[in-house]
Structure 1
Amino acid sequence: MRSFSSLLLAGLLAASAAPAAAQATAKTDSLNLRHIYDEALLRGQSYDNLRYLCQKIGGRLAGSPQAAMAVEWGKLTMEKANCFDKVYLQECMVPHWVRGAKEKGQIIGNKGKSISVAVCALGGSVATPGNKPLRAGVVEVKSLEELKALPDAAVKGKFIFFNRPFNDAFIEPGQAYGAAGDQRRSGPAEAGRRGAVGALVRSLTAAHDDYPHTGATNYGDTPTKVPGAALSTIAADQLSQLLSADPKLQFELEMSCLQLPDEKSYSVIGEVRGTKYPDQIITVGGHLDSWDLAQGAHDDGTGVVQSIEALRLLKAAGLKPERTVRAVLFMNEENGTRGGTKYAEQAQQNHENHLAAIESDGGGFTPRGFNVETTPAVFQKVAAWKPLLAPYLAGQLTPGHAGTDIEPLAAAVHPVALFGYDCDSQRYFDIHHTAADTFDKVNRRELELGGAAMASLIYLLGKYGL
């Protein structure tokens, strides 16, 4: 029988060994993250990949020839990265909406004097009747509720002008976007229900400029579809001021957009099989489609190239994920979420075990960390990684929305946690869904740092699970 003193000594040695082991593990993790960032900052490939996607392919609205080119590019780029065990396409049917000729908008005073203003069709909108100019009076409202309170006689035969601005009191612009977004999503439908001839919507941005912001609108079961157009913030302010001085002025809108039959398309998937727990899956992704006004750089070319790069960085740093990781370039986030829905349906049919999902769809700006959707207990485990991520500007872990493309996955197979890559978004809604979303707005270092942050989170999830 061992003496009490020998048992005490053994206990003390074990107790002292535990902190030492933890320190050694933390040091190993810190060094591995440093290797990831060295590779990203010195030999990163995200920026060059984004240049090609933006400048050689450009805007990639679902169903368009450019979207089909982007699918081919995504598959080839993943294969060339030489870090995936397999790369494949996942079919999905997507909406095919075409903008048509450049839209025209004019404010017309009671003496016939006209002022041209910057407008663009909302995604999914119908054209003006016969693709010809549509002229009518204007009724300004600040909300859907204000429209509902108006008598029929005040609405019928008019344009409804939704002019609720961003609430600049919010620190995070995304909150202002969410608070103002219903007028774009539902404004044209509600205008049609009330007998209006069309809807004019103030662009969803705090910027005061002449870039109109497109984005999806949804008619739902509205029996009468009327055209919906976005006004630039300068145009919206101008219309509001002139309407105050002359309530009888008219607006003339001309749009030739068209909804075609659904088109076959694909999400692109690259998979790295886990070395220890291959049945536990981590998904990382961004959306391959974009709006058609520009190159889709920040929305969401940056998320696409970062998702590919995250897996390349792990391999270059000599790190093999213990769980299976899939990089997914989702198709059709902007006007349907068909790619994300199909991915979730397939995961459910295959009875897959998804540990976590990560999405980058907030631009490629300076990293902050990640928004996290999970239980309080799991959040505490994730929060323990803050000291490892903080030196790289990615240690801010906050409960919040993770991403549109991974929402269906949460409902279908219930991953333990969802993560949304969070970066400095103060400038994001200046260019979001506009002709200004071009490659030149992306900073190389900011972009590469974001990909490294995502790779670091994948490394920690792959090693420790949840």
Structure 2
Amino acid sequence: MKKISVLFFFASLITIAQTKDEQQIKRIYDAALTQGSAYNWLNHLSNQIGGRLSGSVQAQQAVDYTKAQLDMLGLDRVWLQPFMVPKWVRGTPEFAYIETNPGITTNVPICALGGSVATPLVGLKANVVEVKGLEDLKALGEEKIRGRIVFFNRPMDPTEIDTFESYTGCVDQRYNGAEEAAKYGAVGVVVRSMTLRLDDYPHAGAMSYGDTPLENRIPAAAISTKGAELLSTTLKLNPKIKFYFKQNCRQEEDVESFNVIGEITGTTHPDEIILVGGHLDSWDLGDGSHDDGAGCVQSMEVLHLLKTTGYKPKRTIRAVLFMNEENGLRGGNRYKKIAYEKKENHIFALESDAGGFSPRGFSFESSKANLERAQSWASLFEPYLVHFFKEGYSGADIRPLDNGEMVLAGLRPDSQRYFDHHHAENDTFEHVNKRELELGAAAMTSLVYLFDTYGIVN
């Protein structure tokens, strides 16, 4: 009889805890959907500031604006973390065409890839060789590549349900294509845009020359998917066609920029830090609403919602808006360096960098015990249609923090539309749904609440 009473007592405690958690999460969601500020913050970032390329005036305006908004939340501490960032400038708009015969041309949309060198002032025109990936270069050899423009035309795999897996499967041609093609004597590269959509928007993104000397670097551009289809079809009909493109991008001296940081100090375990974050910089073609203005304002909203609901965290909750994720990751690395120097104890970090679409769940990089604990909370999120709690990638800016003991997580929204906008001119405010953005912020805040309440398994 005594054993039954003890079991009943512990079962009652579990039920009380679940009820408490359900009530707090309901308060969080209600506040996000009725008193949230994320959408208004994003409106200003997108429509009053615009694209925030690392090192640009707009990036600095975003730093000033978000710090001011965090100051207004009445947090325990708000500060800027300085460091130097690269400053790559696109210059005048790019121009390109396919020439089927002398004087007979068809214009196609392109954009310079981030970090690329410029073409000659008069532009670059050459014959084209099409490949499906880096491995094709070796098979073709220098004889068939020298003096030509290499056209990388491997599309994202449409059979992958997780579009981030599809992106990962072909992004190497964008990042390393120019470096590898130059080894075989190519004079330039054109890369199919990383999107499953067939449209006229070229998608930017970072590329690297590795250790290639400056004098041997060749210009690299992304071509829209419709442009890529036209170029590929035209090449099949006439392998002797030429491609012309002109871009005026340049790399300038590094400039100072900042991570923007705000925190609520914990009441009982202030030395244990829970981090939420996104990256404040974006590419310059659109206004960076999904990538990653959404993640920044959702991270700010976590602090706002905790205060709005009257919740006083046990642990320190810190929002970090990282700078220079897109073309260097210096913000994430700088934050990690300072955290290690100060011997800060980060137990949990959550990043939102997958767009402001409907939240579907979270992916975790952690020990098995901590993954199972997180999965035990999944039922609390089911009323909000958040069900994905699995092992997987967290986020680029928080990964440098990984010490093998903490928990890293990434918000996982529905991914089907993300690459329609990623790094493109149509990554703009009107493509963000207010309710979806708010639901994502609420999901993040709820997960932060649970990790704050129960900690991690050591």
Q: Same fold (TM over 0.5)?
A: yes
1:344 and 2:336 are equivalent in the alignment: yes
Q: For each residue in 1:429-458, what CA deviation from the matched residue of structure 2 results, as whole angstroms up to 9, or x when unmatched?
A: 011000000000000100000001010011
Q: Which residue of 2 aligns with 1:35?
A: 27
1:368 and 2:344 are equivalent in the alignment: no
Q: Secondary structure at the match of 2:328?
A: coil
Shift of 1:132: 2.2
Mapped to 2, the partners of 1:434 and 1:102 lie a distance apart of 14
1:321 and 2:313 are equivalent in the alignment: yes
Q: Which residue of 1 aligns with 2:170?
A: 180
Q: Which residue of 2 aligns with 1:450?
A: 440
Mapped to 1, the partners of 2:405 and 2:440 lie a distance apart of 23
Shift of 1:222: 1.4
Q: 1:284 to 1:415 in 2, by over 3 A?
A: farther
1:15 and 2:34 are equivalent in the alignment: no
Contact kept, 8 Å, 2:141 with 2:184, in 1: the verdict is no
Q: Which residue of 2 aligns with 1:94?
A: 85
Q: For each residue in 1:190-233, what CA deviation from the matched residue of structure 2 results, as whole angstroms up to 9, or x when unmatched?
A: 11121111000000011000000000000010131100000000
Q: Aligned letter for 1:41?
A: L
Q: Secondary structure at the match of 2:91?
A: coil
1:149 and 2:139 are equivalent in the alignment: yes
1:24 and 2:34 are equivalent in the alignment: no
Q: Secondary structure at the match of 1:346?
A: helix
Q: For each residue in 1:9-38, what CA deviation from the matched residue of structure 2 results, as whole angstroms up to 9, or x when unmatched?
A: 3x4322211101110111011001111111
Q: Aligned letter for 2:344?
A: E
Q: For each residue in 1:149-189, what CA deviation from the matched residue of structure 2 results, as whole angstroms up to 9, or x when unmatched?
A: 21212111100000001110101111110001000000011
Mapped to 1, the partners of 2:17 and 2:134 lie a distance apart of 55
Q: Aligned letter for 1:21?
A: L
Q: Which residue of 2 aligns with 1:382?
A: 374
1:105 and 2:96 are equivalent in the alignment: yes
Mapped to 2, the partners of 1:151 and 1:429 lie a distance apart of 33
Contact kept, 8 Å, 2:279 with 2:293, in 1: the verdict is yes
Q: Which residue of 1 aligns with 2:242?
A: 250
1:391 and 2:379 are equivalent in the alignment: no
* Percent identical residues: 49
Q: Which residue of 1 aligns with 2:157?
A: 167
Mapped to 1, the partners of 2:412 and 2:247 lie a distance apart of 36
Q: For each residue in 1:268-287, what CA deviation from the matched residue of structure 2 results, as whole angstroms up to 9, or x when unmatched?
A: 00011111111111110000
Q: Which residue of 2 aligns with 1:122?
A: 113
| Counterpart mapping for 1:259-270 below 5 A | 259-270=251-262
Equivalent in 431, 444, 449 of residue 441 of structure 1:
431
Q: Secondary structure at the match of 1:180?
A: coil
Q: For each residue in 1:49-98, what CA deviation from the matched residue of structure 2 results, as whole angstroms up to 9, or x when unmatched?
A: 1001100000000000000000001100111122x210000012111000
Contact kept, 8 Å, 2:367 with 2:405, in 1: the verdict is no
Q: Aligned letter for 1:186?
A: N
Q: 1:414 to 1:344 in 2, by over 3 A?
A: farther
Q: For each residue in 1:246-305, what CA deviation from the matched residue of structure 2 results, as whole angstroms up to 9, or x when unmatched?
A: 111101110000000111100000011111111111110000000000110000000000
Mapped to 2, the partners of 1:236 and 1:146 lie a distance apart of 18
Q: Which residue of 1 aligns with 2:46?
A: 54
Mapped to 2, the partners of 1:92 and 1:293 lie a distance apart of 25
Q: Which residue of 2 aligns with 1:407?
A: 399
Q: Which residue of 2 aligns with 1:215?
A: 205
| Counterpart mapping for 1:69-80 below 5 A | 69-80=61-72
Contact kept, 8 Å, 1:214 with 1:433, in 2: the verdict is yes
Mapped to 1, the partners of 2:12 and 2:198 lie a distance apart of 57
With structure 2 as the length reference, what TM-score do the two structures score? Answer: 0.98
Shift of 1:392: 1.4
1:330 and 2:316 are equivalent in the alignment: no
Q: Aligned letter for 1:418?
A: L
Mapped to 2, the partners of 1:152 and 1:46 lie a distance apart of 53
Q: Secondary structure at the match of 2:101?
A: coil
Mapped to 1, the partners of 2:22 and 2:217 lie a distance apart of 57
Shift of 1:414: 3.9
Q: Which residue of 1 aligns with 2:284?
A: 292
Stretches of structure 1 that go unaligned for 5 or more consecutive residues are 1-7
Most deviating of 200-209 and 390-399: 390-399
Q: Which residue of 1 aligns with 2:58?
A: 66
Equivalent in 110, 114, 125 of residue 135 of structure 1:
125
Q: Aligned letter for 1:63?
A: G
| Counterpart mapping for 1:295-310 below 5 A | 295-310=287-302
Mapped to 1, the partners of 2:35 and 2:374 lie a distance apart of 29
Contact kept, 8 Å, 2:263 with 2:316, in 1: the verdict is yes
1:281 and 2:278 are equivalent in the alignment: no
Q: Secondary structure at the match of 2:185?
A: coil
Superposition misfits of 4+ residues, deviation over 6 angstroms? none
Shift of 1:376: 1.3
Q: Secondary structure at the match of 1:107?
A: strand
Contact kept, 8 Å, 2:333 with 2:400, in 1: the verdict is yes
Aligned residue-pair number? 454
1:229 and 2:224 are equivalent in the alignment: no
Shift of 1:127: 0.2
Q: Which residue of 2 aligns with 1:3?
A: none
Q: Aligned letter for 1:30?
A: E
Contact kept, 8 Å, 1:120 with 1:229, in 2: the verdict is yes
Shift of 1:415: 4.7
Q: Aligned letter for 2:183?
A: R
Contact kept, 8 Å, 1:353 with 1:415, in 2: the verdict is no
Mapped to 2, the partners of 1:111 and 1:341 lie a distance apart of 50
Q: Aligned letter for 2:58?
A: Q
Shift of 1:44: 1.1
Contact kept, 8 Å, 1:354 with 1:414, in 2: the verdict is no
Q: Aligned letter for 1:253?
A: F
Q: Secondary structure at the match of 2:136?
A: helix
